[in-house]
């Protein structure tokens, strides 16, 4: 599956071999994308969607808490992907990163559209989320002992309190474990801006956690 | 634990441990909806419709402004005269 692409350089008798990310893509997907850009036929479009769906859905499900909106978001991502595929073909950027960037930016657009940034109180959390909070507080509790689904739900609630851009930065930093450079690339801003915004956003989250901790202690 | 940094890191780590819900197959009808939308093309947004509608009006207003407020149509006021005199006056003379 992995093949070497042979490039004839402009200098005579000079040949270089590069292993590109694109060459690691399943050949059918690459061929299907090129074929769709040429012919725009529906059968090929379906195959492209089937191939890309696990990645798109994975990102949406990791970053968007409301299950009932997943399909809607996936639809929007695929629309943007198909609209931009001719440009991708011309650019030749790594497909996986390119699709991830589109999916994350669709999430960011939706986060921006959220009219309110709730301030969660201890009593607003479900019992499971409260337990995950308490388990995460205990140093002796192994991570595996924390109810991960509830931890994710709590994390989403905390991230809900941030602006769309701050949320995207912390989601990529903490949930996807991306580097500052990668986040800067996805968001189209400088590494320094990402660093500063991440620092400020983390401070907001830490303040929210401290407030919840205080309310938990004073709750009956 | 009173260290919120540690708490946040443990929560994030626990969140990462959670497996994503399975997404192997395309949801029923998703491909059809996407293809239908692609066929009909992208509908212009409300802002785009408004901007396109406002374009001829803006062009007419601009033309009207050029005609009505041309430099010849208006006599120079005091400020213009003073500015002109100041520009013409040589403040420092070289010997």
* pLDDT tens-digit readout, B3-60: 889 999 999 998 888 877 777 788 888 889 998 888 887 566 777 778 888 888 999 9
Residue of A nearest to B32 (CA): A46
pLDDT at B90 over 80: no
CA A219, CA A123: separation in Å to the nearest integer?
9
Specify the pLDDT at position B73.
Answer: 62
pLDDT tens, residue by residue, A117-149: 788 899 999 999 999 999 888 877 777 778 888
Specify the pLDDT at position A93.
Answer: 74
List the structure tokens of A117.
């940034």
Contact list, A71 vs chain B (CB under 8 Å)? 27, 30
Least confident of A20-24, B51-55, B59-63: A20-24
pLDDT tens, residue by residue, A28-65: 888 888 888 888 888 898 999 998 999 899 899 888 88
Residue of B nearest to A131 (CA): B11
Query: Which of B2, B3, B6, B18 would you mutate first to test chain A, the one with the most A CBs within 10 A?
Result: B18
CA A28 to chain B, closest CA, distance in angstroms equals: 18
- Choose the closest CB to B16 out of A78, A175, A213: A175
Please state the rounded mean pLDDT for residues A165-172: 93
pLDDT tens, residue by residue, A78-99: 999 998 888 887 777 788 888 9
Least confident of A157-161, A178-182, B57-61, B77-81: B77-81
User: Which numeric CATH code is attached to A122-218?
Assistant: 1.10.10.10
Neighbours of A107 (CB within 10 A): 22
SS3 A27: helix
pLDDT at A112 over 70: yes
Extents of the domains making up chain A? 5-113, 122-218
CA A152, CA A65: separation in Å to the nearest integer?
9
The ipTM is: 0.74
Specify the pLDDT at position B23.
Answer: 72
CA B40 to chain A, closest CA, distance in angstroms equals: 12
Is the CB of B11 less than 8 angstroms away from the CB of A62?
no
With 0-12 CB in 10 A as exposed, 13-18 as middle and 19+ as buried, what is B36? exposed
b vs e for A146-182, b when ≥16 Cβ sit within 10 Å of the residue's Cβ? bbbbbbbbbbbbbbbbbebbbbbbbbbbbbbebebeb
List the structure tokens of B73.
């149509």
- Choose the closest CB to B1 out of A62, A139, A146: A139
pLDDT at A67 over 60: yes
- Candidates A75, A30, A61; CA nearest to A48 is A30
CA B53 to chain A, closest CA, distance in angstroms equals: 25
Mean pLDDT of chain A: 83
Q: How confident is the model at residue B77 (pLDDT cuts 50, 70, 90)?
A: confident
Specify the pLDDT at position B72.
Answer: 65
Whether A174 contacts chain B with CB within 8 A: yes
**DSSP assigned state of A145:** G
CA A42, CA A77: separation in Å to the nearest integer?
17
Residue of B nearest to A152 (CA): B15
Q: How confident is the model at residue A162 (pLDDT cuts 50, 70, 90)?
A: very high
CA A44, CA A169: separation in Å to the nearest integer?
34
Least confident of A10-19, A27-36, A156-165, A211-220: A10-19
Extents of the domains making up chain B? 45-77
Tell me, yes or no, if the two domains A5-113 and A122-218 fold the same way.
no
SS3 A108: helix
Query: Which of B1, B2, B4, B28 would you mutate first to test chain A, the one with the most A CBs within 10 A?
Result: B4
Please state the rounded mean pLDDT for residues A144-164: 89
Q: Specify the CATH number for A5-113; select among 3.30.9.10, 3.65.10.10, 1.10.1740.10, 1.10.3720.10.
A: 1.10.1740.10
Tokens 């949406």 found at: A60
Least confident of A4-13, B30-39, B83-92: A4-13
pLDDT tens, residue by residue, A172-184: 999 889 999 999 9
pLDDT at A74 over 90: yes
């Amino acid at each position: 599956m992995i093949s070497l692409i042979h490039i004839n350089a402009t200098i005579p008798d000079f040949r270089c071999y590069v292993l590109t990310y694109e060459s690691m893509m399943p050949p059918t997907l690459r061929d299907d994308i090129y074929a769709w850009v040429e012919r725009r036929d529906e059968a090929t479009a379906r195959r492209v969607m089937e191939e890309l769906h696990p990645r798109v859905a994975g990102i949406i499900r990791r970053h968007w808490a409301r299950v009932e909106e997943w399909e809607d978001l996936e639809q929007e991502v695929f629309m943007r992907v198909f609209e931009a595929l001719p440009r991708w073909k011309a650019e030749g950027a790594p497909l996986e990163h390119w699709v991830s960037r589109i999916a994350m930016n669709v999430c960011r657009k939706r986060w921006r559209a959220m009219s309110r940034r709730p301030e969660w109180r201890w009593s607003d959390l479900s019992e499971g989320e409260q337990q995950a909070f308490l388990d995460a507080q205990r140093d002796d509790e192994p991570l595996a002992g924390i109810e991960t689904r509830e931890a994710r739900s709590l994390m989403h609630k905390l991230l809900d309190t941030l602006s769309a851009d701050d949320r995207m930065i912390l989601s990529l930093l903490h949930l996807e474990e991306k580097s500052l450079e990668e986040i800067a690339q996805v968001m189209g801003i400088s590494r320094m801006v990402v660093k500063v915004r991440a620092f400020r956003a983390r401070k907001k989250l830490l303040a929210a956690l401290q407030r919840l901790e205080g309310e938990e202690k004073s709750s009956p | 634990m009173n260290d919120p940094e540690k708490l946040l890191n443990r929560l994030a780590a626990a969140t990462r441990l959670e497996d994503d819900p399975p997404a192997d197959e395309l949801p029923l009808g998703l491909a059809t909806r996407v293809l239908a939308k692609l066929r009909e093309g992208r509908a212009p947004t409300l802002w785009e419709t408004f901007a396109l509608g406002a374009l001829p009006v803006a062009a007419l207003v601009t033309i009207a402004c050029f005609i009505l407020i041309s430099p010849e149509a208006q006599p120079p006021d005091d400020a213009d005269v003073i500015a002109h005199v100041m520009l013409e006056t040589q403040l420092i003379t070289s010997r």
